[in-house]
Amino acid sequence: MPRPRLALTVGDPAGIGPEIVLKALASPDRPDAEWIVYGPAEALRARAERFGLAPPPVPVVDTGGGDVALGEVSAPAGRAAADAVLRAVGDAMSGALTGMVTAPLNKEGLRAAGHPWPGHTEMLAEAAGVSDVAMMFVGGSLRVALLTIHRSLRSVPDAVTKDEVLRVVRLVHRELPRFGAAGPIALCGLNPHAGEGGLFGDEEVRVLRPAVEALRSEGLDVVGPLPADSVFVRAARGEFAAVVAGYHDQGLIPVKLAAFGHAVNVTLGLPFVRTSVDHGTGFDIVEKGVAEEGSLLAAMRLAVALTR
């Protein structure tokens, strides 16, 4: 097959994104693809000089805006991060790219720049003109998708509707073969002990169980709702092909405990491949030169595999 043509966006230029992009591109473990960096060329140049790193050995689409204060949330940095992603999305939608791998951006920076999106997933979905998307993390032996993403814990129960469960589980079921995965999908309960028959909350009885019954009637191999304190252990042992968690921390704590620094964030449902790292912008270490590129390399490897 032809080599995939993939964008590598640098994320928030005030964070560790430029550093890990340079390190990943210089790594002997860099997967074979036609890589194109999208982001502020000035940020890449400055970081390469500061830490004695090689300049990018691949083409750079300079989207500007790299002259920002390191380690600080700012509107210019948030704007630069978004501009790089949106430029890459446009090229992916035109067919010029097979997909993209994204370094981390800062959600406060996005907001400071006047953008409405709470993160990459929502930005990518709107830019691509799709709504049936989901965030899934792949790490170790776990594949964990989320019913809700960036919202307050207080608002989660109202957002977990039967229709949303049906949508996300169907999407995960449809996408799993691309990951070489087969087997049942487990749905997490929202409450302790999956509600214990309604004693600790009624979302399992009122929403989740009817959704599972509807999905099973369609022929999907779905089980649950299951207690979240044990379902991930069972999934890690190979009992489930994937787990669908109710909210951000419920799903991401076990993934990051099992594989932090090597897990990959995948956006399901886009018309192009998109993977990303499992960590944030690292403002606290941005001037130390110690940022590790392991998760970015893992995201690059998975992006190449998914295109093929």
96-126 pLDDT per residue, tens: 999 999 999 999 999 999 999 988 999 999 9
Question: Which residues in 259-288 are b (16+ Cβ under 10 Å) and which e?
Answer: beebbbbbbbbbebbbbbbbbebbbeebee
Q: Is 165 helix (H, G, I), strand (E, B) or coil?
A: helix
Rounded distance between C-alpha atoms, residue 118 and residue 108, angstroms:
8
State residue 69's pLDDT score. Answer: 92
Residues of the chain with CATH 3.40.718.10: 1-127+270-308, 131-267
- 1 has a pLDDT exceeding 90: no
- 180 has a pLDDT exceeding 90: no
Question: Which residues in 32-58 are b (16+ Cβ under 10 Å) and which e?
Answer: ebebbbbbbbbbbbbbbeebebeebee
Q: Is 176 helix (H, G, I), strand (E, B) or coil?
A: helix
Task: Give the CA angle between residues 4, 145, 90 to the nearest 5°.
Answer: 40
Rounded distance between C-alpha atoms, residue 103 and residue 265, angstroms:
11
Question: What sign does the dihedral 30-35-37-41 (CA atoms) show?
Answer: positive
pLDDT band at 11 (very low <50, low <70, confident <90, very high): very high
Whether 150 and 193 have beta carbons less than 8 Å apart is answered as no
Mean pLDDT, the chain, integer: 94
Choose which CATH entry (3.40.50.300, 3.40.50.2300, 3.40.30.10, 3.40.718.10) describes domain 131-267. 3.40.718.10
Tell me which of 150 and 167 has the higher pLDDT. Answer: 167
Rounded distance between C-alpha atoms, residue 193 and residue 172, angstroms:
24
Please tell me the number of Cα atoms within 13 Å of 307 on its side-chain side.
26
- 157 has a pLDDT exceeding 90: yes
Whether 220 and 170 have beta carbons less than 8 Å apart is answered as yes
Specify which residues 275 forms β-bridges with: 101, 266
Burial (CB count within 10 angstroms: exposed 0-12, middle 13-18, buried 19+), residue 95 = exposed
> Token pair for residue 229?
């304190």
State residue 156's pLDDT score. Answer: 94
Q: How far is CA 239 from the centre of its chain?
A: 24
Residue 231: closest CA among 178, 192, 181: 192
Q: What are phi and psi of 60, to 5 degrees?
A: -125, 125
Specify which residues 62 forms β-bridges with: 39
Percent of the chain having pLDDT more than 90? 89
* Total-model pTM: 0.92
What secondary structure letter does DSSP report for 135?
A: E
CATH number of 1-127+270-308: 3.40.718.10
> Token pair for residue 295?
């998760």
Rounded distance between C-alpha atoms, residue 202 and residue 189, angstroms:
10
